[in-house]
């Protein structure tokens, strides 16, 4: 063996050692500081602009499931997503989120009810994640509509975990992460149909659940203002504290629960400039804004611009742990640095795995993402 060859082998061996030590220094994430990146926000938040140092996990939102074949489909920008965001944080992990609020719930139900379709779905999802170097998969099926569909969801998670473990053993790579975005409460009634998530399967098969602790109020009720992500509500169970407790009481260990926080607010037109609190009479949803482009919604970046430009009054409501601002007839409910810091403290006190934001592209100069990360570390 030639000397140079020998040196090369030594070098490679050292590199293998240090490269794996380097990977190990990222470690298994001890907590989750996640955010979803909606691919339709690429025009103002391309992956290269994401300040990935603020997050442990970034979720690509969303991949679609084909309604005929039940395969998860390739999307634009998936190929370079992981390597691009890792330039600012080599340890950040990426997941593909499948589905989303606008996706077809019936198609997911049809997939989940049939073992062959479940297998096709699972196989295509794993292949897609591996093809593009993602670290995991996330299911955002909004929402299984009855008890049968919830049972099928439990079967899907169990078969998915099994397939992930098999793939890991045969490829020799760490298993893909598996998470799901879920309703703020473990049990709920919508359109008169009661349903509960399959807690035993979730606890056994998922790495964690992303609990969507927001959208408690919105443009579907224009009669009054509301704190759409209130931590506490003394008059109802529609609150983050109630939702998180319901998940833990259902048997999901707190260290598998990740609390969602919004990077957007909900706006209303007030009925009277004299009544400006939470629950004040309103007459309409607030006007459409440039980026959020939907009446009744304002991104946090739009809210901070609005406060700067109009000198709106901002109030941190310690009772609900939420923030609102108003000027003239416009009222917006949201989270600011104070409410985010208090919520993160709550999540830590409850022993939760971490938090996530919807959505990465709505923050104002990374302000709330930074506050959350620092608050978690304190
Ligand atoms: C949703 O999917 C189902 C089943 O594939 C299909 O029959 C239905 O037309 C779809 N609905 C919409 C709104 O696309
Ligand atoms: C659940 O919903 C599906 C789709 O709407 C329906 O086909 C099924 O019969 C329902 N099952 C029960 C137990 O209500
Ligand atoms: C809130 O939930 C608890 C327990 O889940 C229930 O006993 C109570 O009736 C609910 N309260 C309201 C106002 O719905
Ligand atoms: C607001 O309150 C003031 C003083 O209490 C009253 O004069 C005024 O009419 C009220 N305005 C509206 C729009 O209700
Ligand atoms: C929104 O867009 C319009 C048209 O491009 C522009 O004139 C306006 O200044 C923008 N508003 C804000 C708040 O950025």
The predicted-structure confidence for 50-92, as pLDDT tens digits, reads as follows: 999 999 999 999 999 999 999 999 999 999 999 999 999 999 9
**Ligand 2, from 105, 114, 149, 151: best to mutate by most atoms within 8 Å of Cβ?**
149
Among residues 73, 74, 80, 142, which one is catalytic?
A: 142
- 145 has which bridge partners? none
Please report the atom of ligand 4 found closest to the CA of residue 274. 1
Quickly tell me which residue has 């990222």 as its tokens.
26
Residue nearest to atom 13 of ligand 5 (CA): 290
pLDDT digits (tens, 9 = 90+) for 360-370: 999 999 999 99
Helix axes 337-349, 367-377, angle to 10 degrees: 30
User: What lines the ligand 4 site, CB under 6 Å?
Assistant: 272-274
How far does the centroid of ligand 1 lie from the alpha carbon of residue 109, in Å? 11
Q: What is the model's pLDDT at position 17?
A: 41
Q: What is the model's pLDDT at position 7?
A: 46
Q: Which ligand is nearest to the CA of 247?
A: 3
Q: What is the model's pLDDT at position 153?
A: 98
Return the DSSP state at 7. Answer: H
Residue nearest to atom 6 of ligand 5 (CA): 290
In which band, very low, low, confident or very high, does the pLDDT at 195 lie, cut at 50, 70 and 90?
Answer: very high
More confident: 27 or 126: 126
Please report the atom of ligand 3 found closest to the CA of residue 235. 13
Non-local CB neighbours of 363 within 8 Å, separated by 6+ positions: 263, 300, 301, 357, 369
Q: Find out whether the beta carbon of 290 lies less than 6 Å from any atom of ligand 3.
A: no
Q: What is the model's pLDDT at position 28?
A: 66
pLDDT digits (tens, 9 = 90+) for 284-322: 999 999 999 999 999 999 999 999 999 999 999 999 999
pLDDT for residue 38 is more than 50: yes
Non-local CB neighbours of 258 within 8 Å, separated by 6+ positions: 32, 34, 179, 208, 209, 210, 211, 352, 353, 354, 355, 356
Please report the atom of ligand 4 found closest to the CA of residue 272. 13
Q: What is the model's pLDDT at position 191?
A: 85
Domain ranges for the chain, please list them: 3-262+338-377
| Multiple choice CATH, 3-262+338-377, 3.20.20.80, 1.10.1040.10, 3.40.1030.10, 3.30.750.24 | 3.20.20.80
Judge if pTM exceeds 0.85.
yes
Rounded to an integer, the average pLDDT of 318-343 is: 98
Q: Is 142 a catalytic residue?
A: yes
Q: Where are the alpha helices (DSSP H) in 132-239?
A: 147-171, 199-205
Please report the atom of ligand 4 found closest to the CA of residue 273. 13
Q: What is the model's pLDDT at position 30?
A: 86
Rounded to an integer, the average pLDDT of 339-347 is: 98
CA–CA separation, 332 and 286 (whole Å):
8
Output the six-digit token pair for 331.
């009222």
> Three-state DSSP class for 273?
coil
Read out DSSP for 154-170?
A: HHHHHHHHHHHHHHHHH
Q: What is the model's pLDDT at position 229?
A: 98
pLDDT digits (tens, 9 = 90+) for 239-293: 999 999 999 999 999 999 999 999 999 999 999 999 999 999 999 999 999 999 9
In which band, very low, low, confident or very high, does the pLDDT at 375 lie, cut at 50, 70 and 90?
Answer: very high
CA–CA separation, 224 and 294 (whole Å):
18
Non-local CB neighbours of 213 within 8 Å, separated by 6+ positions: 184, 229, 240, 243, 244, 259, 260, 261
In which band, very low, low, confident or very high, does the pLDDT at 190 lie, cut at 50, 70 and 90?
Answer: confident
Q: What is the model's pLDDT at position 12?
A: 44
Q: Which ligand is nearest to the CA of 270?
A: 4
Q: What is the model's pLDDT at position 363?
A: 98
Average pLDDT, whole number, for the chain?
A: 94
Helix axes 105-112, 115-131, angle to 10 degrees: 110
Q: State percent of the chain over pLDDT 70.
A: 93
In which band, very low, low, confident or very high, does the pLDDT at 29 lie, cut at 50, 70 and 90?
Answer: low
Residue nearest to atom 10 of ligand 4 (CA): 274
How far does the centroid of ligand 4 lie from the alpha carbon of residue 276, in Å? 12
């Amino acid at each position: 063996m030639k000397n140079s060859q020998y040196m090369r082998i030594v070098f490679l061996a050292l590199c293998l050692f240090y490269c794996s030590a380097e990977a190990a220094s990222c470690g298994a994430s001890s907590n989750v500081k996640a955010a979803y990146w909606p691919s339709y926000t690429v025009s103002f938040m391309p992956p290269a602009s994401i300040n990935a140092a603020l997050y442990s996990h970034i979720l690509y939102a969303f991949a679609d499931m084909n309604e005929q074949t039940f395969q998860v489909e390739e999307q634009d920008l998936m190929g370079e997503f992981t390597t691009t965001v890792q330039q600012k944080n080599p340890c950040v992990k990426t997941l593909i989120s499948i589905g989303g609020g606008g996706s077809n719930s019936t198609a997911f139900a049809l997939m989940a009810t049939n073992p062959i379709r479940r297998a096709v779905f699972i196989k295509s999802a794993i292949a897609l994640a591996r093809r593009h170097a993602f670290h995991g998969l996330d299911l955002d099926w909004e929402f299984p509509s009855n008890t049968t569909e919830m049972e099928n969801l439990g079967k899907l998670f169990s078969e998915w975990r099994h397939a992930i473990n098999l793939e890991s053993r045969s490829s020799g790579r760490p298993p893909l992460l598996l998470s799901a975005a879920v309703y703020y409460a473990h049990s709920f009634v919508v359109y008169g149909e009661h349903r509960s998530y399959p807690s035993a399967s979730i606890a056994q098969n998922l790495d964690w659940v992303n609990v969507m602790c927001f959208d408690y109020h919105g443009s579907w009720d224009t009669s009054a203002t509301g704190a759409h992500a209130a931590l506490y509500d003394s008059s109802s169970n529609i609150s983050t504290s109630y939702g998180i407790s319901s998940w833990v009481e259902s048997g999901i260990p707190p260290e598998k629960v990740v609390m969602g926080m919004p990077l957007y607010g909900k706006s209303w037109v007030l009925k009277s400039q004299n009544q400006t609190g939470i629950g004040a009479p309103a007459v309409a949803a607030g006007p459409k804004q440039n980026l959020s482009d939907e009446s009744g919604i304002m991104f946090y970046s739009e809210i901070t611009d609005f406060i700067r430009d109009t000198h709106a009054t901002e109030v941190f409501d310690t009772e609900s742990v939420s923030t609102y601002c108003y000027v003239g007839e416009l009222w917006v409910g949201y989270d600011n640095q104070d409410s985010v810091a208090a919520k993160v403290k709550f999540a830590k006190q409850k022993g939760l795995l971490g938090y996530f934001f919807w959505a990465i592209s709505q923050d104002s100069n990374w302000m709330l993402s930074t506050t959350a990360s620092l608050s978690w570390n304190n």
